[in-house]
Amino acid sequence: MSKDLLDQIPVAFTEPLESFLAWLELERGLSANTLSAYTRDLVQCVEFLVEAGVADWQHVASADVAAWTASLSRAGFARSSQARKLSALRMLAKHLVRENVRKDDVTELLGSPKLSRDLPDVLTREEVERLLNAPSAVSPHGLRDRAILELFYSSGLRVSELCGILLQSINLDEGYVRVFGKGSKERIAPIGSAAVQAVRDYLVGGRPHLVKARTGSEVFLSQQGRAISRKMIWVLVKEHAKRAGIKKPIKPHLLRHSFATHLLEGGADLRVIQEMLGHADISTTQIYTSVQSQRLVDEHALYHPRAKKKATPKSGL
C-alpha cells in the first residue's frame, strides 16, 4: 500500500521519504499501520507542494508548509488529524537535516493546533462487575470471553496487545504477562488473582475446544482456531455489555480506561499507572486525573446540600 502511494509522487520527493520510512521501521520499530498512516499524511503534503510548484524537499519553504497546514483546516480536518499530520512532517524535517538533504528544519517556526482532549468514558465498579459476570462460566466461548474481559480490566492492556499474547508470554504462577506495545516496546503487565483464575479456567476448559490442526501459540483463539482479531474482541465486548444492561457507548478501550481510573481512585501512583499502561509520556496518563477530578465535581454537585441546583418553579405558581 505504501509503495503504491509513493509511486504517485515525483522521484525527487520519493527517495528521501523512503529513507525516512525505512528509518522509522528499522530504528524506531513502528508498526505497519503507523507507517501506512505516516505515508498517507506525507504523500498528501507532497501532492500539495507539487501543486504549488515546489520541485523537491530542498526547495520547500516555511511558507509552503504553513500553507499546507492552513489548507488542512479549511478542508475540515479535525485538530487531532491536523496535529498528527504535522507531527509526521516535523519528524521528516528532522530526518532531512540529519541526512544532509537540508541544512535547516523547515517546520521549526510552525505552531501546533491546540487540542481539546475529551475525557474518556469509564465504567463504574458495579458496571465492571456486571460486565465481567456476563459471559457463560461453562461454555468454551464463555470461558474465553470471561478471561478476555478479566484480563482487560486487570492489566489495562490495549486490544492489539491482548490479541498477540502467546502461551509462553503469560506466567500465571507469578501473576504477570509479557506484552509488546506501541513501537514493539516490551513491558510486564501484572495480572490480578481473579483474572489469573479466569485465564486458568479458559486454558483448561475452553482453549482445547478451539484448537485446530494449524493453531499457533496465541492464547485467545477464534472459532477457526486462529488468533482472535481486534474486530472480534470489539464485537464480544459490545455483546456482553448489552447482556449486562450497560447503556454507555462501549468500546474495548473502555475497560483500559476504567482500569486506570479505578487504580488512581484507589491511591496508585500516576507513574506506576503510566508504566502499567505502557505510555511513553506521563501527560497521556494525566488525563485520568481529570476523569477523577470531574467525578468529584459531579458527586459534589449531586450530593452536597449547598451545591444542589434549586428546582425551577413552574410558570403560574
Q: Enumerate the active-site residues.
A: 158, 182, 253, 256, 279, 288
* Distance, CA of 183 to CA of 27 (rounded, Å): 10
Compute the distance between CA of residue 121 and CA of residue 255 in angstroms, rounded to an integer: 9
Backbone angles phi and psi of 9, in degrees to 5: -120, 160
Residue carrying C-alpha cell 503487565: 189
- Quote the CA–CA distance of 216 and 148 in Å, as a whole number: 18
Contact 287, 119 (CB under 8 A): yes
Residue 265 carries which side chain, given as an amino acid letter? E
**Nearest in space to 276 (alpha carbons), one of 172, 154, 167:** 154
Hey, what's the cell of 207? 482453549
Q: Which amino acid is at 248?
A: K
The SS3 of residue 315 is coil
